Structure 1
Amino acid sequence: MTPFIFVLETASNLPLVARFALAGIAMSTSGVSTALVAYCAKPYVNKLRWLEADKQAAGLEMTTLTLGLHERVTRVYDTAFLVPASRFFATWELAEAFQLPKAEAELGKAQGTLPREETVAETLTSKGDVIGRWIVRWDENGAGVCRQQGRVVRYFNVHQELLGRPI
């Protein structure tokens, strides 16, 4: 609509600076509202699928959309890393830190599998290309600190009726 401000206002006595100011206000209002819609809608999960391993639920696959309506599929391989979100308009987020149960940490230490690094979640494009990972680094005591590699979707707004069963 910004070009119309210049066309419609040519017959008026508004100075050119005022027309630019009106156009700038219209553009910034449009930009702010688009940014708010993007912020609120970004974590919305429109498809949810359980990842099965040996007849047991091993993880979740959640599909979200970008502002340009491109699908982003995030596979969370360990649902224990999905915690209540601290962000508005999101139900879950990927945890920043995690502590293994003491027995599991002792077993990992005895088997020599701690310390280690593993992928907790991956975000893929609709073509299957990996664009981001959520990686946990376990120390020798079973304390894990997560980090992002690439562009992983971290926040999810999931309606409970999509789940079908509890996590």
Structure 2
Amino acid sequence: MALAGLALGTSTLSTSLVAWAARPYVTKMRRYRPNTAGSAEEVDLTTYTLFMRPLTTKVYDPSFLIETRRPLAKWELADKIHLTANRTDAVGTNVHPESGHEETVAETRNEKGEVIGRWVVKWEENGAGTCHQVGKVVRYFNVHEELLQ
């Protein structure tokens, strides 16, 4: 019984570690360039679950993707952000969202196209924002250099 329990525990632990390490690995990345001035580029990042189900995370503004300290990942969705003064609308005027306004920064969809999670920013004064998760959003990404071209 002890040996069977040890083998089962070791197997579970190693599978969990592999799933944790491989979860942020991006297999496909698509970039959409805007047609209008002042619009941010959008990025689709495809990852997979432990059971090989695709998850596609659309990031509506790549400035929310920052370098991470998490091992085996390159980017993460930012917890906090501060807009620079050069964010403009289609006419060219500086834009800072209203304090208290919330906006979706990224959405994760399952293989059926259903939204399973969102990364939302709540704006504060002077273009500062604090982000939080709604549902189950993929937050960390390990992007291979070949996909960045």
Q: Same fold (TM over 0.5)?
A: yes
| Alpha-carbon RMSD | 2.0
Number of residue pairs matched by the alignment: 142
Counterpart CA distance in 2 for 1:118 and 1:136 is 5
> Contact 2:25 / 2:141 at 8 angstroms: preserved in 1?
yes
Structure 1 runs not aligned, ≥5 long: 1-19
Aligned sequence identity (%): 50
Largest Rg, 1 or 2: 1
- Where has structure 1 moved over 6 Å in runs of 4 or more? none
How far apart are residue 32 of structure 1 and its match?
0.7
Q: 1:54 to 1:108 in 2, by over 3 A?
A: closer
Q: Deviations over 1:133-164 (max 9, x none)?
A: 00001112211000000000000000111121
Does the 8 Å contact 2:40/2:61 carry over to 1? no
Pick the aligned partner of 1:69 from 7, 28, 52: 52
Q: Tell which has more relative contact order, 1 or 2 (C-alpha 8 A, sep 6+).
A: 2
Confirm whether residue 114 of structure 1 aligns to residue 98 of structure 2: yes
1:51–1:57 Cα contact (<8 Å) kept: no
Describe the SS at the equivalent of 1:141: helix
Contact (CA 8 Å) 2:29, 2:147: kept in 1 or not?
yes
Counterpart CA distance in 1 for 2:75 and 2:87 is: 25
Match runs of 1:20-35 below 5 Å: 20-35=1-16
Distance 1:103-1:42 versus aligned 2 partners, 3 A rule:
closer
Task: Tell me the TM-score normalized by structure 2.
Answer: 0.88
Unaligned runs of 5+ in 2: none
The one-letter amino acid of 1:38's match is A
Q: What's the counterpart of residue 39 of structure 1? A: 20
Task: After TM superposition, list the pairs within 5 Å mapping 1:128-143 onto structure 2.
Answer: 128-143=113-128
Q: Distance in 2 between matches of 1:51 and 1:86?
A: 27
